[in-house]
Structure 1
């Protein structure tokens, strides 16, 4: 697999189901992601503007490639409701070759 087709797992959290749906639709429709898993709500505790905050959040696990990552980040920044959204990309060190190839195929821009 070339550097551009290296698969990444991108993590983000959303405040509610509606925003999770909007973000999921945006990244898939833009072909910036091949797949998004929405996990059940979790409890998050974090520092924000000098205070400890507590929130229920919906985690998303997004599969993309290094080449598609800039478009994914742009779509997330455009649709995410947080001022500073969590957007963390982790390289996938190993995986089923057919699955990794599928992620690469599904994030390629459509040929015209």
Structure 2
């Protein structure tokens, strides 16, 4: 099963660092970085608003737990967002490429 994983970062340098770790280690075939989003949320009982950077991580089922471990280790947030969505439909050539680029070295 193929996966799209989402996380937010406080800034572009953090986003680039995490994306590079995930791609270099073959945990993600590709990570899209959306440089500026506004997030509105409650944190410790207070309404907050932050400029953040969104990561869209393309991966496979076997890497989901490893990606979460990387986020826990390297992410600056106390509670980093980590949402994983399933997909199994896409162009055959893209899905083959995704599989090839998430296989162990």
Which segment is superposed worse, 93-102 or 43-52? 93-102
Select which of 64, 67, 71 maps to 1:69.
Answer: 64
Give the CA RMSD over aligned residues. Answer: 1.0
Residue 31 of structure 1 and its aligned partner are, at CA, apart by 1.1
Residue 40 of structure 1 and its aligned partner are, at CA, apart by 2.7
Taking the aligned partners of 1:63 and 1:16, their CA distance within structure 2 comes to 20
5 Å matches for 1:35-74?
A: 35-74=30-69
Note the residue ranges of structure 1 that are not aligned, 5 or more in a row.
1-5
Structure holding more strand per residue: 2
Taking the aligned partners of 2:33 and 2:67, their CA distance within structure 1 comes to 16
- Return the TM-score normalized by structure 1: 0.89
- Return the TM-score normalized by structure 2: 0.95
Deviations 1:29-80 (A, max 9, x none): 2211000000130110001111111100000100000011111111122111
Moved over 4 A (4+): none
Taking the aligned partners of 1:32 and 1:54, their CA distance within structure 2 comes to 31
Q: Does 2:17 correspond to 1:22? A: yes
Note the residue ranges of structure 2 that are not aligned, 5 or more in a row.
none
